[in-house]
Amino acid sequence: MGEDGDAVEAVDRFLRSRGDFRSFSLIELSLSASKLRDRDVLSKMGRTEVVLNSLNPVWIQKLSITYRFEIVQPLVFQVYDIDTQFHNIPVKTLKLDEQQFLGEATCNLSEIVSRSSRSLTLNLDHRDGSRVDTKNSGEITINAEEAFAAKTILEIVFRCSELENRDLFSKSDPFLLISRTAESGARIPICKTEVRRNNLDPTWKPIILNLQQAGSKENPLTIECFNFNSNGKHDLIGKIVKSLSDLENLHRSQLGENLFLPTAVDHEYHNRVLKSQLFVERFSESTKRTFLDYIAGGCELNFMVAVDFTASNGNPRLPDSLHYIDPTGRPNAYHRAIMEVGDVLQFYDSDKRFSAWGFGARPIDGPVSHCFNLSGSTSHSEVRANPFGPVINAASTIASQSLAHNQQKYFILLIITDGVVTDLQETRDAIVKGSDLPLSILIVGVGGADFKEMEILDADKGERLQSTTGRAASRDIVQFVPMGDVESGELSIAQSLLAELPSQFLSYMQRKEILATS
């Protein structure tokens, strides 16, 4: 588990250095144990304090870990008996190989936070050579709490006046980047505004962040105003350093604060104060329910998958086919996508069963179908069409039926395909219809096809899909990822597909005014 604060901050810095501004929940784990073997004392866990002379200890020190929905986070809990001679030595400096090992337990963080009680009791396993004793080693109970700062939401509207012009033939295209300063002194970006084109007196859309991202209301934030350049080399127009409390006071006073610009003078940098000013037009603070609040309240995530069986996948008996089953056990692209996404989602579904469909084939000896139940049969004839509409409509029907029965379920449809959709307008219509339902759609492109047209379905660029009748999607529910892009990067398929899912889930709950039950 590492050194708690430093590890959490390191993960945060790593992600945000790559432009990932999604919020992550800080989880605090409280530990207790019971029925331990009769020894002096115990310890361990990234690490707790030592509890003296107790077979049923309750540790006071909590352990912090950053919860991330889109990955599986395995945890190992180890319990040690600390000899009396080491009682006055700081816990972090103890050499555990000099202490008596009492047992260990493993689980995934999702197993704890997905339970309504957010509590999990595990048997401690004790290895004695090749023998594992699970009966007499005791139990450990882990309780998880979401940090309150993750639920404190801030909405801020910024305005600037008299910005310096950095473009030759037009006005600057300004945007704001907000960063917090870590204990190490490094700056961690936490959010940014949109770009305002040709505007020296811009007012930006509201930015929304939680208190956890800022650290605290007193933590200094660096607010930098840049002139956008398409080559990625943005010009610094000016900056300011203020805490959230300072920004709140600026809002109350309705006064502006002058930006400054670090300027080199005789090989030294001085802050040149500018005429440009920053104003806080709106500053509001509220407490909102989080994704984990809904999960703890009994809401489940149901996984559904649709697999492309069209002829372009190739003959499944040949090694160059995308459906080829390698005798060495190496998973093909379809297997990988299903396993990676399913491994994450399984903890949020009590029965761990999911709907599975195929499209673009003749199931067994029936007619060509673009939505058939996968029965495990290897006998099918292939066709060349690649329609998504039927499987999205099938998923929507299930989501709609669940809604009609007041079930607390949210559905995730994974579509894996080797080609561009051929029924684009029907697919648009199905997605627009699905945007009103508890449904998110994940699409993975496998193989070497050109998937640029597929990006139309993913509204990350701000353009909402429209149906044949001109009705716009009520929210963004599609995430498209070409597997080739993922394989050449640092993120897994599941990370790329699932990182936005909690925000899509919350957008549905908030739009429908569905409250998390306690």
Q: Render pLDDT for 125-177 as a digit per residue (tens, 0 to 9).
A: 876 655 556 566 788 999 999 888 878 889 999 999 999 988 777 889 999 99
User: What average pLDDT does the chain have?
Assistant: 82
Q: What 3-state DSSP class applies to 80? A: strand
Beta carbons within 10 angstroms of residue 246's beta carbon:
17
What residues does 235 pair with on adjacent strands? 227
274-311 residues labelled b (16+ CB within 10 A) or e (exposed): bebbbbbeebeeeeebbbbbbbbeebbbbbbbbbbbbb
* 310 and 252 inside one domain: no
pLDDT higher at 468 or 14: 468
* 178 and 323 inside one domain: no
Domain boundary among 125, 146, 167: 146
> Does residue 216 fall inside a structural domain?
yes
Contact 154, 283 (CB under 8 A): yes
The mean pLDDT value for 63-91 works out to 82
Domain that holds residue 42: 26-146
* 349 and 485 inside one domain: yes
The mean pLDDT value for 411-423 works out to 83
Beta carbons within 10 angstroms of residue 508's beta carbon:
20
CATH code, domain with 336: 3.40.50
Residue of 147, 152, 201, 150 whose CA lies nearest to 174: 201
> Does residue 17 fall inside a structural domain?
no
* 255 and 333 inside one domain: no
pLDDT higher at 269 or 301: 301
* 267 and 313 inside one domain: no
Q: Do the strands 221-227 and 235-242 form a parallel or antiparallel pair, or are they unpaired?
A: antiparallel
* 138 and 181 inside one domain: no
* CA separation for the pair 355, 480 (Å, rounded): 20
Q: What's the structural domain count of the chain? A: 3
Q: Do the strands 235-242 and 439-445 form a parallel or antiparallel pair, or are they unpaired?
A: unpaired
Beta carbons within 10 angstroms of residue 162's beta carbon:
13
> Does residue 305 fall inside a structural domain?
yes
Question: Does residue 318 register a pLDDT over 70?
Answer: yes
> Does residue 13 fall inside a structural domain?
no
CATH code, domain with 53: 2.60.40
Contact 457, 443 (CB under 8 A): yes
Residue of 238, 278, 236 whose CA lies nearest to 260: 238
- Predicted confidence at residue 147, as pLDDT, reads 84
* 130 and 176 inside one domain: no
Specify the DSSP class assigned to residue 379.
-
- Residue 247: its H or E element: helix 244-253
> Does residue 337 fall inside a structural domain?
yes
* 462 and 326 inside one domain: yes
* 119 and 165 inside one domain: no
* 193 and 59 inside one domain: no
CATH code, domain with 163: 2.60.40.150
CA of 192: how far to CAs of 16, 175, 179, 455, in Å?
Answer: 11, 7, 9, 23
* 449 and 478 inside one domain: yes
Beta carbons within 10 angstroms of residue 332's beta carbon:
16
Of 14-23, 401-410, 452-461, 502-511, give the lowest mean pLDDT range: 14-23
Tokens of 327: 């005798």
* 325 and 310 inside one domain: yes
Largest separation between any pair of C-alpha atoms in the chain: 83
pLDDT bin (cut points 50, 70, 90) of residue 17 is very low
Tokens of 508: 């549905």
- Predicted confidence at residue 39, as pLDDT, reads 47
Helix ranges (DSSP H) in 354-412: 389-404
Domain boundary among 287, 319, 340: 287
- Predicted confidence at residue 289, as pLDDT, reads 87
- Predicted confidence at residue 42, as pLDDT, reads 36
